[in-house]
Amino acid sequence: MPDTAEWNRLVTAAGGSSVAGEALKAKDGWYWDYKNGKSGNGTDGYGFSALPGGYRDNYKVGFNGAGSLGYWWTATEAGGYAYYRNMDSNSDDVGEYYDSNSYSVRCVKD
């Protein structure tokens, strides 16, 4: 599983956190971006093919966001939590936060 440094290298190569989502999202599978009036899909310019699998909310015990939100764990911990990266169909951003919900995992081949 990639740590935050590996994610940072990927996001930087894809243009930075404010635009990398477009290059990393799959070409199909994301909901329409109503906020900006365009497709929520990406260009998949790096072969990452990020899909919006949603997440399991451990606090409300429910599953949310499939089709519009993608969340992926990193191997980096922070005070009992772990960092994750996220993408949204309404944005080209790639966010970084930490939490304890249930998210998807992407593996890295060394």
Each residue's pLDDT, cut to its tens digit, for the chain (110 residues) gives 999 999 999 999 999 999 999 999 999 999 999 888 999 999 999 999 999 999 998 877 788 999 999 999 999 998 889 999 999 999 999 999 998 889 999 988 87
For every residue of 9-69, DSSP letters joined together read HHHHHTT-TTTHHHHHB-SSSPPPBTTTTB------TTS--B---BEEETTTTEEE-TTTE
For every residue of 55-87, DSSP letters joined together read EEETTTTEEE-TTTEEEEEEEEEETTEEEEEEE
pTM more than 0.85: yes
Spatial distance between the Cα atoms of 32 and 60, rounded to a whole number of angstroms? 26
Q: What is the pLDDT of residue 70?
A: 97
Domain edges within the chain: 4-99
- Bin 80: left if φ > 0, else alpha if -120 < ψ < 50, else beta: left
